[in-house]
Structure 1
Amino acid sequence: MILFRSIIYFILLLVTTITLATVGTLIGWALPKNGIHLFDHSWSRVNLWGLKHICGLDYRLQGTENVPEGSCIIFAKHQSAWETIALVSLIPGPKSWVLKRELLFVPFMGWIMVYFKPIAIDRKSGRKAVDQIIEQGTQRLETGKNVFVFPEGTRVAPGTRKRYGIGGALLAEKSGYPVLPVAHNAGVFWRRRDIRKYPGTIDVRIGPIIETEGIKAAEINKRAEEWIESTVDSLPKRWDQ
């Protein structure tokens, strides 16, 4: 039954992605400033509804009072595809995502991504990619967008971690904008490279703002990592708990 429900949801995900991406691509140029974000927020909310009512997978959000009114740099744990859908709408405001540039060539989704002004990097280019994050990230922050970073760079299974990359922390150091840490246990319910979505409730915790003015990148990363990883460690590690 879990597999059957997951396949039905996957069809919904495909249909909503193709529909909203196609319409958004066609009319995005005519929308007012940040109007394009009506599409990604709608796509996110529809898919969260589908996960809840088709797969029995809901979420519990805490810490929304920590979201600042102005722009910030969001550091989030990356365990599954769930957070790339959910955090679009769970954290308010327009966002610019740091992502690998290959995603811009994905049919439908890649077409509309251009309107969101992502920071599309070549992860193999080393320092050049870091400079791009700093330069373009600062521009996005100054125009009122939040910059969204997965500091580990790729999805990691629950119970494991990867070294936090320096790009997002250097952006915070150079720009002076604060970091908003986000922890969750989505990978327990929606596993990497697995179509099955297990029923239950994903815990999402938004942490206290990390001020970065006058703080070095290494220290910013350390503070963000300590809060995110310790919080993840405190969350349920089984979908049936």
Structure 2
Amino acid sequence: MNALRSVLHLVFMGVTVVPWALAVLLAAPFLNSTRIYWMCAGWLRLAVWGGRWILGIRNRVIGYENLPVGNTAPAVLLVKHQSTWETFAMPTLMPHPLAYVFKKELLSVPFFGWAMAKMDMIHIDRSQRARAFAKVVQQGRRLLAQGTWVIMFPEGTRIDRGEKGEYKSGGTRLAIQTGAPVIPIAVTSAKCWPRKALVKRPGVVEFSIGKPIPSEGRKAEELMAEVEAWIEAEMRRLDPEAYAPTPVKSA
């Protein structure tokens, strides 16, 4: 049954993204960046809605009170990355527009990437590391000033349930250079949508939002170590089964 539901949801996303993306492409010349964002977020809401009713995946958010208050209050969101689910869900859960930092190759994905290209986000060429980060800071500063929050996955890629990747300091470097606070977020999406898995399982995905961490006067590596410690400790609290020690077999 889970396999059938997973295929149905995949077909549902494929069928709905084409007309939605075409509508974005046609409307983009007449809309400002904020309206384009919420138009694209509408399809993400549809995909998450389909995930709830087709796959049986529900979201539970902890710590909304930790988010900055104010239309232009800045924030750099550093999020645990276990699956595609949080990529879709985060814009539907946050009160501000989000700007993802992502590799420019995604813009060539038919329909989905074409619509992304119309959004005011930060797409980079990873082969040009110094220039890429300079672009992140330049665009990040502009976006944060207008009330758009920058979201990054510090581990860089999706990580298996119960595992920890290498936390890179790009997000904290951006926060320090722009003066924005860092918001760590733990996510248990792999319980329902495992990394690279076709078959998804019903259940609850928890998003736990940590308290803002000021970036002023901090060192990037030190700040990222604090973010990493909070996220990984919270992951163990939310999903203790995934981090249970493997029993040692007796001889």
TM-score between the two structures when normalised by the length of structure 1: 0.94
Indicate yes or no: 2:83 matched with 1:80.
Answer: yes
Shift of the alpha carbon at 1:87? 0.5
Return the offset for 1:219. 1.9
1:136-167, Cα deviation, whole Å (9 max, x unpaired) = 21121122211111111111111111111121
Q: Answer yes or no: is the 8 Å Cα contact 1:134–1:167 preserved in 2.
A: no
The 5 A counterparts of 1:38-117 are 38-69=38-69, 70-117=73-120
Aligned to 2:162: 159
Match of 2:197 among 184, 194, 198: 194
Q: Which runs of 4+ in 1 moved over 4 A?
A: none
C-alpha deviations, 1:68-125, integer Å up to 9, x for none? 1212111001110000100011112111110011001111111111222221112232
Deviation at 1:41, TM superposition (A): 2.4
2:110 match: secondary structure: coil
- Find out whether 1:209 has 2:182 as its counterpart: no
Gap change, CA 1:215 and 1:84, over 3 Å in 2: same
The Cα shift of 1:238 comes to 6.1
DSSP 3-state at the match of 1:87: helix
Q: Aligned with 2:4: secondary structure?
A: helix
> How many residues in Structure 1 have an aligned counterpart in Structure 2?
239
| CA–CA separation in structure 2 for the residues paired with 1:170 and 1:236 | 29
Paired position in structure 2 for 1:28: 28
Once the two structures are superposed, residues 19-56 of structure 1 have per-residue CA deviations (whole angstroms, 9 ceiling, x without a partner) of 22111111022124511122232112212221111111
Counterpart CA distance in 2 for 1:125 and 1:106 is 21
Give the Å deviation of 1:67. Answer: 1.3
Equivalent position amino acid for 1:19 in 2: P
**Given residue 237 of structure 2, which amino acid in structure 1 is its aligned partner?**
S
Name the SS of the counterpart of 1:139 in structure 2: helix
2:221 to 200, 218, 221: 218
Q: Does 1:168 align with 2:164?
A: no
Structure 2, unaligned runs of 5 or more: 243-251
Tell me what 2:147 maps to.
144
Q: In the alignment, is the contact (CA less than 8 A) between 2:33 and 2:119 conserved in 1?
A: no
Deviations 1:184-220 (A, max 9, x none): 1101211122111101111111111111112121122
Q: Measured at CA, do residues 50 and 216 of structure 1 come closer, stay the same or move farther in structure 2, by a change above 3 Å?
A: same
Does the CA-based 8 Å contact 1:173-1:214 persist in structure 2? yes
Code of the aligned partner of 1:35: R
Whose radius of gyration is greater, 1 or 2?
A: 2
2:2 match: 2
Q: Kindly indicate whether the alpha-carbon contact (under 8 Å) linking 1:185 and 1:237 is maintained by their aligned counterparts in 2.
A: no
Secondary structure at 2:34 match in 1: coil
Moved more, 117-126 or 167-176: 117-126
**Percent identity (aligned):** 36
Cα RMSD between the aligned structures? 1.6
CA contact (8 A) 1:78 1:156 kept: yes
1:237 is displaced (CA, Å) by 5.9
